[in-house]
A and B are shown apart, each in its own frame.
Chain A
């Protein structure tokens, strides 16, 4: 059996004696007899580190590792620079608690402050929080912060990620607020339908840029329509796309949110990921979660603290707008580190490569004649194709060690191409698709 106790059985017996007890059962004397477990739980016997290592590696080997991943849909396979993997593994970063004791937590506080600054730069917004759980919860919290006594309805684009839609719906269900889906047309939010749905009771509109199908939305149109009707806008953004695309700040969105996983976090079967959230100065105090601020100590040294805490659950209790406390601090540190390593030009180049390679694959697939692109809108690094041989194509790629796009209904595939794919690999994909079509 393994354990992490820095004491022997003999020492523990002496300690028990020192507190005046004779048995472990006496430590649990307040536990009623009828529920106290005299018999051990039905768990396997403990193991040594060497055994554990072997046993879990074996579990890992039951997974299939692809040499190329062309599936995105909310989880993106980007290249992670080596140093981005090593720094967050430093024990102090890894094991510290939330930095409530500022005097011995300046390193973590500063890393969050730097992260907040970078998120503001990426999104063009004024204020970022220290992170929330993931992109879906960021979207849900974003919609929550827009609700008021007079306006409680949330409109969500049907072209958003299904998990994001379901999460917003759940957060609305919690507070008995209404959520309505704005239909999609040609793979993007139906602006006319949206305009009709923008009644006096609408608090906010959520849409994603690019959306679930990879397409760029008419952000100007959506935001103008929402603002004309007195509603706020929560804009979901892909952080890599922000290396190139117009920011929520430039567009006039009220809240910018997104999934930060592409910023240096591996796929990891869905998590840990990173929800980023930023807003305007005007809405700063409605932002949920922790926020780090800069101040000075008594001697005038620069100091960082958890600020604006009176918004939060540990002070406001049932009146807090969110119950969030633990967030994804280490993922925020990772994202800040990733953005530092890439720098402005590296981020732009990554976005440029994603955009270019996705378009290359889309064009080459279309040239085969058997694959059609149903949508004509501009896209970033994801796109949808339609082909009757959907399953055969994915199977063929699978056999070649390539994870193809996500199968959607009606013979469609949602592809994603990142900077990781080389021209040679994309040409191979096209060749394999042609073999199926032939």
Chain B
């Protein structure tokens, strides 16, 4: 596909601005740039066609089945977009006087109330712009708490080895030493390993529950009790909240603070990699440490982003929560769990689950036996799924399972779709047995074949030659 720069024709343009109607002020030469930026020059028709060409090369949730484990690719309702596009929200300046922004503040207050109830927390901030940003904020709450008490010996954060990479990276950004603890054979926290890691240097534990293999840790109350007993705090990574909304709350499990990915659990779209929102909730004793905006709120305190966060994303999530309500929220979760188990039952006849038991909203397949027998890897299988028109599952995560494929169907898929997907997995498996090369070189029906990532990394080309 041609780059937009390659379609540029000198002089092609849209007429957007009226002529300048005041005296032209010249910027002094010592402040001026040497030449104009070489931006593309296109008429509006050409712009429209360029982006239409691009959009044809994108697979969205609207395109088909998107079982990307850990990412909760549920349907993103259009009404949420319509509300978030209202000029009565998009046109509001964050620094307008209080009386002029009552609607926006009410949106944030109401969303906070509802999410506090769902998570079992007492206070909430919407400043973090994504899940990892929420983790950063949450662990900074823990850090401030220990600092305020003068408890300086607490230098370590405990993270299970099944955790998302963001957890250890976050702990490091907060100045903590990371203690990785091995998971038990059932994929859950190894209580002995946890006990051995805990001590008076423990600042806290970061945990996802259900965990990254899709299992709810039955020892959760004991885990949080042990951490508290050692003087640490418990951080809940809400990446997998979609499994449990309305059925059990992080606050009741003993967690002190949480982040929720509004762009996963609360149906706001991922946008090809953001904007998201990583709302952070906490118990009352941590509330004084929540971030503020120096300009909007004044005062001291931490701040992780400008202004009040990704407001429109919060607005979409609020629209979603109010639509589902008290019955719909738990129903969404239990259907997500039901769909995952139903799909696992279908796929289990084809590939081996890493943990063959009732799962939560996602499950992990272990393809190492299949790879041994056929030479076909999890990557090959994932790429072959593209030929059958579905998005590949998450690959090679969590790290504790070899040749892992992680499937999260979400609640917004029908039984027919799940049956078809199980059938597609069967076909792909047979393809691999019959003709391994077909899978090594998959996909065959996409616009490009497998890109040369080694060349991309060795000789990085990160912008167009102009």
Contact = CB atoms under 8 A, between A and B. Distances in A.
Direct contact of A and B (CB under 8 A): yes
B79 A52 contact: yes
Interface string A100-115: 0111111110110110
A5 B311 CA distance: 27
A292 to B, nearest CB: 7
A369 interface: no
Interface stretch (A180-188, A199-207, A333-341): A333-341
Given A28-B247, A43-B321, A347 B307 contact: no
B247 to A, nearest CB: 5
A4 B411 CA distance: 8
A49 B218 contact: no
Given A90-B55, A133-B133, A346 B16 contact: yes
Contacts of A269: 89, 92-94, 101, 104, 307-308, 311-312
Contact of B169 (A118, A128, A313): A313
Nearest to A29: B358
A426 B22 contact: yes
B318 to A, nearest CB: 8
Given A91-B60, A250-B33, A326-B276, A301 B463 contact: no
B327 interface: yes
Contacts of A312: 165
B91 A267 contact: yes
B420 interface: no
B319 interface: yes
Interface string B69-95: 001011111010111011111111111
Nearest to A295: B456
A376 interface: no
A299 B449 contact: yes
Given A2-B323, A53-B79, A313 B132 contact: yes
A131 B130 CA distance: 13
A44 B322 contact: yes
A8 to B, nearest CB: 10
A52 B456 CA distance: 47
A15 B88 contact: no
Given A11-B415, A297-B452, A352-B24, A27 B294 contact: no
Given A92-B62, A107-B55, A114-B5, A341 B33 contact: no
Interface in A340-363: 340-350, 352-353, 355-357, 359-360
A87 interface: yes
B373 interface: no
Interface in B301-316: 301-313, 315
Q: Most chain-B Cβ atoms within 10 A of its Cβ — which of A31, A47, A65?
A: A31
A271 B270 CA distance: 15
Contacts, number: 683
A178 interface: no
Given A163-B294, A174-B175, A295 B453 contact: yes
User: In which size bucket is the chain A interface?
Assistant: 35 or more
B415 A134 contact: no
Contacts of B449: 103, 297-299, 301
A284 interface: yes
Nearest to B82: A53
Interface string B39-68: 111101001101101111111111100101
Contacts of A302: 1, 448
Interface stretch (A16-24, A189-197, A225-233, A382-390): A16-24
Given A339-B39, A423-B21, A303 B345 contact: no
Contacts of A164: 306
B400 interface: no
Contact of A174 (B24, B99, B136, B466): B136
A166 to B, nearest CB: 4
A356 B23 contact: yes
A171 B55 CA distance: 36
A98 B273 contact: yes
Q: Most chain-A Cβ atoms within 10 A of its Cβ — which of B81, B165, B446?
A: B165
B104 A53 contact: no
Given A107-B56, A170-B303, A315-B165, A6 B325 contact: no
A260 B251 CA distance: 37
Contacts of A327: 130, 273-274
Interface residues of B, number: 199
A9 to B, nearest CB: 9
A359 B27 CA distance: 11
Contact of A95 (B60, B106, B129, B327): B60
A294 B66 CA distance: 25
Contacts of B153: none
A294 B307 contact: no
A37 B249 contact: yes
Q: Most chain-A Cβ atoms within 10 A of its Cβ — which of B40, B275, B326?
A: B275
Nearest to A175: B175
Given A170-B140, A250-B34, A318-B168, A60 B103 contact: yes
A118 B37 contact: yes
B275 A96 contact: no
Interface stretch (B226-234, B280-288, B332-340, B424-432): B332-340
Contacts of B215: 30
Contact of B25 (A34, A53, A325, A355): A355
Interface in A31-45: 31-32, 34-37, 40-45
B196 interface: no
Contact of A93 (B88, B244, B272, B412): B272
B38 interface: yes
A56 B83 contact: yes
Interface string A313-333: 111111110111111111101
B310 A271 contact: yes
B217 interface: yes
A134 B246 CA distance: 33
A323 B274 contact: no
Contacts of B308: 269-271
Given A47-B323, A63-B100, A135-B306, A170 B60 contact: no
A333 B58 CA distance: 13
A74 B131 CA distance: 24
A4 B75 contact: yes
Contacts of A424: 21
B17 A318 contact: no
Given A56-B319, A71-B93, A111-B54, A328 B274 contact: yes
Contact of A107 (B54, B247, B456): B54
A272 B463 contact: no
A62 B325 contact: no
A2 B302 contact: no
A428 interface: no
Q: Most chain-A Cβ atoms within 10 A of its Cβ — which of B44, B59, B391?
A: B59
A59 interface: yes
Contact of B464 (A47, A65, A117, A216): A117
B176 to A, nearest CB: 9
A114 B86 CA distance: 29
A49 B184 CA distance: 46
B378 interface: no
A213 interface: no
A224 interface: no
Nearest to A278: B463
Contacts of B58: 92-93, 96, 104-108
Given A104-B391, A344-B39, A330 B271 contact: yes
Q: Sort A-B residue pairs by CB-CB distance and give the 10 closest, nearest first.
A: A46-B325, A270-B307, A60-B88, A330-B271, A329-B273, A62-B103, A272-B275, A107-B57, A323-B169, A313-B169
24 contacts: A5-B412, A28-B247, A30-B217, A41-B326, A46-B327, A52-B322, A59-B106, A75-B93, A91-B61, A99-B272, A110-B3, A118-B37, A133-B129, A163-B307, A267-B90, A267-B92, A268-B92, A271-B275, A293-B456, A295-B451, A308-B457, A330-B269, A356-B24, A423-B21
Given A37-B330, A41-B330, 9 more contacts: A28-B244, A43-B114, A65-B92, A74-B95, A88-B271, A96-B60, A121-B37, A163-B293, A294-B461
